[in-house]
Amino acid sequence: MTKRPEEIALLAEAGRLLAAVFGHLDGLALLGMSTMQINDRADRFIVETLGARPASKGQYGYAYALNASRNNVVCHGVPSDADVLCSGDIVNFDITLEKNGFIADSSKTYLVGEVSAAARRLVQVTYEAMWNGIRAVRPGARLGDVGYAIERHARRNGYSVVREYCGHGIGREMHEAPEVLHWGQRHTGLALREGMVFTIEPMINQGRDAVRTEDDGWTVVTCDGQLSAQFEHTAAVTHDGVRVLTLRADEAAPV
């Protein structure tokens, strides 16, 4: 379950490259682009510019480099030529990247055009909730502390936390132990140890936490049709705290 320092160094390199993919997406004019166009741009950037592999492509039979989850789509949205981004949309891009046999996983929710204050607030609170969870990571803390920090922030702001999906260990495989729930009680769950590497990726809903999977077998949406947002980072437990391996250029490390 724990990784050796040389393995974490390789995971950090995959994370650095994945952060660069989001930097590339940050430079795109998303308004009017289809989610398939964005998928194709990300795929080419990963392969041709970074010399890496889109790890989601072919995993579990999935055909694309990213998930594109728009508005009321909670997660696992499938890119499509028909899914064109409009002003007012929020859209999450969830991307995994493999380099030198190790995988990094991250996601970011983007605001497209003129976004309502309510949607903007949901996205901001979701981002804050993820960071609250990350800041709870340190040796001797427990996974329940991470989930508690996330859920407390979401609920204090009037939102709900999706319970059907969670973070996960990561390394040579995309999904490893442990499961990282985004809700919980303090001082409960697995004790964290130096060398553990896992994702923290809360999905926060504007309305109820209930979700359903559409007929394509992938796309998960809110049952009440209200908005959902998500952010994700891959994090490693260090000797005195946490290191975010997928930290982007526009972000600060946790304090």
Q: Which residues are annotated as a binding site for a divalent metal cation?
A: 94, 105, 168, 201, 232
Q: How distant, in Å, are the alpha carbons of 65, 75, 215, 240 from that of 237?
A: 27, 26, 38, 8
CA angle 181, 5, 169 (to 5 degrees): 20
Closest listed residue to residue 15, CA positions, set 197, 238, 165, 180 = 197
Cis before residue 202, ω within 30 degrees of 0? no
Q: Which residues are annotated as a binding site?
A: 76, 94, 105, 168, 175, 201, 232
Q: Produce one character per residue of 118-137: b if its CB has 16 or more CB atoms within 10 Å, e if not.
A: ebebbbebbbbbbbbbbebb
Binding-site residue positions for substrate: 76, 175
